[in-house]
Amino acid sequence: MGLKLLEQIKRIGIVPVIQLERAEDAVPLAAALCEGGLPCAEVTFRTDAAAESIKKMKADQPDMLVGAGTVLTIQQVDEAVAAGAEFIVSPGLNPDIIEYCSKKNILILPGCANPSDVEQAIKYGLKAVKFFQAEAAGGIQTIKAMAAPYTQMKFMPTGGVNESNICDYLNFDRVIACGGTWMVPADLIAAGEFEEIRELTQKAVQNMLDFHLAHVGINCDSAGEARRTANIFEQLFGFKADENSASIFSANFIETMKSPFLGTKGHIAIAANSVERAKTYLERKGVVFQEDSAVYRKDGKMQAVYMQNEIGGFALHLVRNPKLP
């Protein structure tokens, strides 16, 4: 169960960290997060409204992944789980809470900031920890340094993570997700500005995924037609042709196919920082993918996958951002 939840968190990528003073704000806030593209929340036990807020969120958005944060006692674990929390996050490494959650088969992400903490987490059989306070503790460079000797441990940095540095964290494959508050500022929650929170959430998701055009594929009937087409792009615009067995790339962003390929007219490749996260995000919008079209790298990451339906006569596929390792 814990590994499945970790994979869900990883596919979402960002865990909004929320402090709710009023439980009545939970439902519109949950809706704003889900509509914005982040069906996940860590509701902190810093206020008396935490448990009731979790309960309301899960009742209104049953598919939303809701956890409890700033959990300091076993009693709070019980309150959170009874309210519907699916995972527990603590600011530090508390052996009592870890042992209790492990016995109850509850996913626990304890706060760790140094190798000694990580070794204790490994001792308890944990596969992932919260790296807290992330920026104050040295940021992504500290995570990379700690990750080197502890090859099986994953990290969820929280504290100081924002839209300007989140991709630095998420582009490291040992980071499963990031916790953050920038899309759920306390003043907007207090003012009931949930539409603005939805917009901030949507912006955070777009920033994380970084959708952009990778290349356009043009279907040609023959290798000769493909070469003639590529020559035109080179003569007019100076786009150098790079030929392979199936196609010719012009300046890396126009691909002329040597024979008809997917799509009535051709195909369009949309790059994303993570194909897995982008696929999950689009599936929530109703997009269906051709699962048998998925291509994987040697490290197990998805490199590309096609959508099932054409748009404007073009097949569409996601591809991993070529600028990333």
Q: Which residues are catalytic?
A: 42, 130
Q: Where are the alpha helices (DSSP H) in the chain?
A: 2-12, 26-36, 50-60, 74-83, 95-103, 115-123, 139-147, 166-170, 186-191, 194-209, 223-237, 275-284
SS3 305: strand
Residue 80 burial by CB count (10 A; 0-12/13-18/19+): exposed, middle or buried?
buried
Separation CA 96–CA 236 (nearest Å): 70
Q: What separation in angstroms does the CA of 73 have from each of 9, 17, 256?
A: 23, 19, 62
Which residues are paired to 271 by β-bridges? 212, 319
Q: Is 102 exposed, middle or buried (0-12, 13-18, 19+ CB in 10 A)?
A: middle
Cα angle 47, 199, 22 (rounded to 5 degrees) comes to: 20
DSSP for residue 197 = H
Task: Give the whole-angstrom CA distance, residue 34 versus residue 57.
Answer: 11
